[in-house]
Structure 1
Amino acid sequence: MGGRAIVVVGDALLDVDLVGTASRLTPDAPVPVVEDVERRERPGGAALAAVIAAAATSREVVLVAPIDTDEGAARLRSLLDGRVRLVAIPASGGTAVKQRVRVGDHSVVRLDSGGASAVFGPLPEEAAAVIRDAAAVLVADYGRGTTAAPDVRAALSSARGPVVWDPHPRGADPVRGVRLVTPNGAEAARVATDVPADASGLAAVGARAESLIRRWGVGAVAITLGSRGALLSYGEGAPMVVPAVPVTGGDPCGAGDSFAAAAALALADGAVTGEAVSVAVAAASAFVARGGASAWEVEVYPEPDVVAEPGADAVIARVRAVGGTVVATGGCFDLLHPGHVATLRAARGLGDCLIVCINSDDSVRRLKGPSRPLVTAPDRARVLEALEFVDAVVVFEEDTPAEVLDRLRPDVWAKGGDYAGADLPEAAVLRRWGGQAVVLPYLDGHSTTALVERSRV
């Protein structure tokens, strides 16, 4: 592990999902009978934020949190072991346990146990030291009193690295000078009482962010807006709005922890605040698409320069579930031009979704020469995803799309160009599962190579 540690400070919980099936109601009340229940435990609260961060960085992640000596605490320690280093604040009063009864992907009820607040002793010197020397500190406040303790607040005020504070309605105000605070929309509306509670729209969100910056004396506030992304304000000037990538399905539980953890990691690596918020929005979307907190053991962030593709599998599953037709096409798409647009639009018309498979940057260089691509794979993917007739984009490393096609198994593979009457190279791959390769008319006079040559004249 390299570099200074990431430190997460806050309230650690034990989360439990009781997942079963339900096909009937009880005879004495209109409630479902949940059967074949499977118990799934995971870290919760600040502990979840810590394991999310640990899955996304090579840095050491240290969790500073009150930990009791009861059975819940023992289970929590076991879940954290080998993932994060725990520096416990001695505590009593019972470990907070939150149990969700779920049928499939839907929660039926949540059962909470443990005290409303923790009773804990002084902050250990080891904890004060790791907070002071951290590359970045994430405060994950879950309203159990940790952030109100004077010695914890003093340590956070002395932190040399950037501090990201994820607040809670029952928690303490952030310490002054924090780099970034990340409330959700409801939390911001509850605290920023100088903005009418019934005010809506981005103007109201921006006004609340400015109000919170004045109230707390912090550098910036990013109000998370769920599927709409986040609004970042520095207290004056135009705020920055970072839209979220649309996600189909998924579990939003833990998305706020994912957002805050990603922002803290980005700041630790030298990102400016706006860059950190952009990274955080993308990470939270990917986290939800991968199953949210219930999939906490899965690495939640892509490696740098690799385009995340949480949408492709979800899109295909949704279309297949209703008997629809999955269409795929592929290419470099280095400079998007009218010929590309015409082919993509026609391909989408052949079925119920369109997955675009694009060559990675290394693959393009091997095929087109060292001067290509002109546009990197992440940016090519973003441009394609912005088209209304493109449902998802997948980047492949090989020189041909054969492997990615074998994984996606589309019903139709569509190519534009002068292949009419010839057997497409991918046709043999499609035949393995009964798919069909087809050729679409190409718009004459448009090609990326021709555009590049004309630009050099």
Structure 2
Amino acid sequence: MTAPAPLLVVGDALLDHDLSGTADRLAPDAPVPVVHGARRGTRPGGAALAACFAAADGRDVTLVTALGDGEAARTLRRLLHGRVRVVEIPLTGELACKTRILAQGVPVLRLDDGDGRAAGATDEARETVGAASAVLVADYGRGTADVLREALARAARKVPVVWDPHPRGGPPVEGSRLVTPSAAEARAFAARTEEVTAAGGARRDGGPARPRPELHHAAEDARTLIRSWGVNSVAVTLGPDGALLSHGDAPLLVPAPHCAPGDACGAGDRFAATAAGLLADGALPEKAVHGAVHAATRYVTDGGAAGLRHDQDPVPPAPETVPHPEPALLADRVRTRGGTVVAAGGCFDLLHAGHVALLQEARRIGDCLIVCVNSDASVRRRKGATRPLVPVADRVRVLRALSCVDAVAVFDEDTPERLLKELRPHIWAKGGDYALAQLPEAPLVGSWGGEVVLLPYLDGRSTTELAAKAALDPAERSAGRARAAGR
């Protein structure tokens, strides 16, 4: 297998702190939450976080940035040591730091300090940019991209340059292979372009700005930016809706593989680092954006910034055959918020209306539904060598397409008891054709105060019967329907 291509990251490094605790009351002297039991975490931020993400993908990464002196700079150097090579340029002022205060995983306050800006380029930094085979510019509006702009413009004429812009930063250099603004950033940049156009005597839409559906809005903004910036393509990130890739014509919508509620801090860096790395490997922009959407979704699913390891190593999980929300994290999150966790289980081979009705009813009785699915080996032991008819990857994908399903977990044992111990659902739901005596997991669920609930099952729906009907030739199926109609 070919090793991932190296990547140069150029941009403004930050130091991020999180104070995470719980809040169950307001302060007596002001209408603000009282956060207690706070745990402190520190990690690279900005361009430094993007560089760590790229390194976590197995790449040889060099980061060109301004760090300066001071305690924050020393801490960030320590966090980056051994992960990426750092080429420093001068910084005036203190390194920028961002501190978030979170309660139950939700930010309630953010403090920003440090006014440092890149003070100029060095020969080493220019030479590093000139020798790069692919570049990611993580522009956080603090001057690094500005002082290296000429070198970056030359690089864009030779190698893939991905530019992740910031509203306080400058435009990407002409010829950039891919630019990755969020929808809000794309709107702001496009509005500036419209203002300039209006000052010259014309507007592209012939009138004042007006509300438009988000996708159409993003597509128009992307086309505007491609024309005004002279870049090859723009991928507008849409949060939980994925990303919209435009080359200036009909855009490509790349949906997220699943809904990933949670802390999205750092997801933009995960997206840009993945897209830049894939372009460095020789992928087309369409494949790079597809991979970036999936990587960013996995990152949020696994807890976002809160899911980074205790040593602040932002290593995402390896891509899975069947990417899905982390069920245990979802269950913990719902329990912490006082919600009800519901789980349901089965083989779900040839998903039919009976399955769907059961899952819809299960979801209605709680705040999340986690479906526990037998692996292929587990199904074979239970149903015989001819089953499953549908492999687990496809079964999981179909289940996750149901709006009533929040997460899917696969278990390899004959029963889901090990998985249930991990999830500890408040309710374990099964179809009404089961008896409690047939559910060996019932005592386990009761051991933590959970409840086993049987739900009505639609009569006449069976995977076995569907499989048998599918095996008949058309004439036999027609005769069977005629006999059924004559009864």
TM-score, reference length from structure 2: 0.79
- Counting only pairs closer than 5 Å after superposition, residues 152-191 of structure 1 correspond to structure 2 as 152-154=151-153, 156-157=155-156, 160=159, 162-191=160-189
Larger mean Cα displacement after TM superposition, 303-312 or 216-225: 303-312
What secondary structure sits across from 1:200 in the alignment?
A: coil
Letter in 2 for 1:236: D
Are the counterparts in 2 of residues 66 and 120 from structure 1 also a CA contact under 8 Å? no
Q: Which of the numbers 350, 360, 385 marks the counterpart of 2:400?
A: 385
Residue 26 of structure 1 and its aligned partner are, at CA, apart by 9.4
Match of 2:80 in 1: 80
Letter in 2 for 1:200: R
Q: Which of the numbers 342, 345, 351 marks the counterpart of 1:336?
A: 351
Match of 1:280 in 2: 292
1:42 and 2:43 are equivalent in the alignment:
yes
CA distance in 2 between counterparts of 1:347 and 1:35 reads 35
What secondary structure sits across from 1:304 in the alignment?
A: coil
Residue 264 of structure 1 and its aligned partner are, at CA, apart by 2.8
Letter in 2 for 1:222: A
Letter in 2 for 1:332: C
Match of 2:438 in 1: 423
* 1:21-73 Cα shifts (integer Å, max 9, x gaps): 8877697x887888887654321110011122333x23333323234344432
Letter in 1 for 2:164: D
Q: Which of the numbers 397, 422, 426 marks the counterpart of 1:407?
A: 422
1:318 and 2:316 are equivalent in the alignment:
no
Listed as ranges, the gaps of 5+ residues in structure 2 are 195-203, 473-487
1:299 and 2:312 are equivalent in the alignment:
no
- Counting only pairs closer than 5 Å after superposition, residues 134-213 of structure 1 correspond to structure 2 as 134=134, 137-148=135-146, 149-154=148-153, 156-157=155-156, 160=159, 162-192=160-190, 193-194=193-194, 197-201=209-213, 202-213=215-226
In structure 2, do the counterparts of structure 1 residues 355 and 101 end up closer, same or farther at CA, with 3 Å as the change threshold? closer
Match of 2:476 in 1: none
Residue 79 of structure 1 and its aligned partner are, at CA, apart by 0.7
CA distance in 1 between counterparts of 2:72 and 2:336 reads 42
Residue 95 of structure 1 and its aligned partner are, at CA, apart by 4.5
Residue 302 of structure 1 and its aligned partner are, at CA, apart by 4.4
TM-score, reference length from structure 1: 0.83
Are the counterparts in 2 of residues 156 and 175 from structure 1 also a CA contact under 8 Å? no
* 1:373-403 Cα shifts (integer Å, max 9, x gaps): 5555454334323333323322334443121
Letter in 2 for 1:102: I
Letter in 1 for 2:296: A
In structure 2, do the counterparts of structure 1 residues 416 and 35 end up closer, same or farther at CA, with 3 Å as the change threshold? closer
What secondary structure sits across from 1:119 in the alignment?
A: coil
Match of 2:7 in 1: 6
Match of 2:236 in 1: 223
CA distance in 2 between counterparts of 1:321 and 1:145 reads 41
Match of 2:65 in 1: 65
What secondary structure sits across from 1:153 in the alignment?
A: helix
Structure exhibiting the larger radius of gyration computed from Cα positions: 2
What secondary structure sits across from 2:373 in the alignment?
A: strand
* 1:142-163 Cα shifts (integer Å, max 9, x gaps): 1223223245314632554x43
Letter in 2 for 1:91: P
1:100 and 2:115 are equivalent in the alignment:
no
Are the counterparts in 2 of residues 70 and 94 from structure 1 also a CA contact under 8 Å? no
CA distance in 1 between counterparts of 2:346 and 2:22 reads 44
* 1:304-352 Cα shifts (integer Å, max 9, x gaps): 3143324663356435643x54321112223211121122234335545
In structure 2, do the counterparts of structure 1 residues 68 and 362 end up closer, same or farther at CA, with 3 Å as the change threshold? farther
Letter in 2 for 1:257: D
What secondary structure sits across from 2:350 in the alignment?
A: coil
Q: State the superposition RMSD in angstroms.
A: 3.5
CA distance in 2 between counterparts of 1:251 and 1:8 reads 24
CA distance in 2 between counterparts of 1:67 and 1:48 reads 14
Count of matched residue pairs: 448
CA distance in 2 between counterparts of 1:353 and 1:10 reads 40
